[in-house]
Amino acid sequence: METTSDFLNIKDVNTAFKINGKYYDAISHINLTVHHDEILAIVGESGCGKSTLATTIMGLHDPSETKISGEIDFEGTNLLKLDEAGYNKFRGAKIGMIFQDPLSALNPLKRIEDQISEVMTYHTKLTAEQKHDRVLELLKEVGIVDPKRTAHQFPHQLSGGMRQRVIIAIAIACKPDLIIADEPTTALDVTIQAQILDVLRKIQSENHAGIILITHDLGVVAETADRVAVMYAGQIVEEGSVEQIFNTPKHPYTRSLLRSMPQRDNQNDDLYVIQGNVPSLQKMSKIGDRFAPRIPWVKPEEHEENPTMHEIEPGHEVRCTCYKNFSFPDQVGSVKA
Ligand SMILES: Nc1ncnc2c1ncn2[C@@H]1O[C@H](COP(=O)(O)OP(=O)(O)OP(=O)(O)O)[C@@H](O)[C@H]1O
């Protein structure tokens, strides 16, 4: 799956949180590669570990409360070996981050121009005039209609969509190679969502960046991503191109997620509900298929004892062998790909 344009290689990464004095894995044995010029979506229900993966890459965990192992190779540097000062050279410069809630990510007391300039002051040697020009250029790039006016405003004077555009402007100010966007459109209405996703796509193609897009919204994935990694209970259960995941999904969890997604042309059908919940960290099984309790009609022998990823076709991998004959209870016979 690796190509010469790999620049982020996540190898066997585990992140465990300390709860009542004991460590529990929130993400386990994560292997992922991100290429330049692509949007990789990470999808899964709430609690699957998507944000933990993002914050692990960004080095945002308190080492006294978290145990992290594995390797995150970013352009030749293992990020997991960096101290705080080392990480600060990457965050904001080579790696940009866009969070779900733009209001809490912005300083309410500072004008937009100062907040965008700040990251350039830290990471570049641009003069005040150059930074001013770049702020206006960035605001224009993210689709702000009147950059001069917005640059002078405070966050509370902007709409949610405009604030998210400002966050994107900050994230891309230093032309990062990697952008991590964690639910960037969840708080926005549908029209603004589409505009923000357009901005992300434009940035990815113009800056040749790689973007990790974290979302629980499969509609966003279908519209935006090139590749998809589906997470369940801290593990990747399926990975493939958008076409592979949407046209020939294999893992029962991926298929359940897709079945629970509203279809435009089938508005009267009841939506499928995936029974049960994502297990809490303390209840996460170390052996066996973690999704097995939610598909109890699949016989135990159809699951692997220690599920591994299987390559089905180039670029398309699925965890466990239970996908082979999987069908939903109301369907007869096995499911053909
Ligand atoms: N600091 C922490 N201490 C203990 N447990 C945590 C901590 N952060 C996250 N968790 C747990 O780790 C698991 C994964 O959480 P995470 O936020 O990464 O999932 P997510 O898929 O991003 O969910 P959401 O979409 O709701 O943000 C959950 O069980 C969560 O309760």
For the chain, the structural domain boundaries read 242-337
Give the bridge partners for 241, in sequence order. Answer: 227
* % of the chain beyond a pLDDT of 70: 94
Q: Which residue has the tokens 């209970």?
A: 233
Locate the ligand 1 atom nearest the alpha carbon of residue 54 and give its number: 18
Find the helix or strand (DSSP H, E) in which 121 lies. helix 112-123
Q: Which residues line ligand 1 (CB under 6 A)?
A: 17, 19, 26, 44, 46-52, 216, 280-281
Cα distances from 53 to residues 4, 65, 73, 91, 262, in angstroms, run: 24, 16, 14, 15, 27
State mean pLDDT over 184-205. 84
State mean pLDDT over 161-171. 91
At residue 261, the pLDDT reads 80
- Pairing type for strands 316-319 and 235-241 reads antiparallel
DSSP state of 91: B
At residue 229, the pLDDT reads 98
At residue 3, the pLDDT reads 43
Q: Which is nearest to 335 in space by CA: 261, 250, 274?
A: 250
At residue 158, the pLDDT reads 94
CA 175 to chain centre: 19
DSSP, collapsed to helix, strand or coil, labels residue 314 as coil
- The residue whose CA is least distant from atom 26 of ligand 1 is 46
At residue 266, the pLDDT reads 57
Locate the ligand 1 atom nearest the alpha carbon of residue 52 and give its number: 18
At residue 275, the pLDDT reads 81
Q: Determine whether 22 is exposed, middle or buried from the number of CB atoms within 10 Å of its CB (0-12, 13-18, 19+).
A: exposed
Query: Which residue of 18, 30, 218, 281 sits with most ligand 1 atoms within 8 Å of its CB, as the best mutation to test the pocket?
Result: 281
Q: Report the alpha-carbon distance of residue 289 to residue 169 in Å, rounded.
A: 41
Give the bridge partners for 235, in sequence order. Answer: 232
The answer to whether residue 83 scores a pLDDT higher than 90 is yes
- The residue whose CA is least distant from atom 14 of ligand 1 is 49
201 residue type, one letter: R
DSSP state of 282: G
CA 35 to chain centre: 14
State mean pLDDT over 3-11. 77
Q: Report the alpha-carbon distance of residue 51 to residue 68 in Å, rounded.
A: 14
The answer to whether residue 65 scores a pLDDT higher than 90 is yes
Residue 23 CA to ligand 1 center (angstroms) comes to 14
The residue among 199 and 65 whose pLDDT is bigger is: 65
Token readout for 181 is 């966007």
Q: Which is nearest to 221 in space by CA: 185, 170, 264, 178?
A: 185
Residue 215 CA to ligand 1 center (angstroms) comes to 14
At residue 59, the pLDDT reads 94
Helices (H), 142-233: 147-152, 160-172, 190-207, 218-224
Q: Report the alpha-carbon distance of residue 198 to residue 98 in Å, rounded.
A: 15
At residue 245, the pLDDT reads 97
Q: Report the alpha-carbon distance of residue 58 to residue 52 in Å, rounded.
A: 10
Q: Which is nearest to 143 in space by CA: 172, 121, 114, 119?
A: 172
The answer to whether residue 310 scores a pLDDT higher than 80 is yes
Q: Which is nearest to 250 in space by CA: 312, 207, 193?
A: 312
The answer to whether residue 1 scores a pLDDT higher than 90 is no
Going across the sheet that includes 316-319, the strands are: 95-98, 178-182, 210-215, 38-43, 227-232, 235-241, 316-319, 309-313
- Pairing type for strands 227-232 and 235-241 reads antiparallel
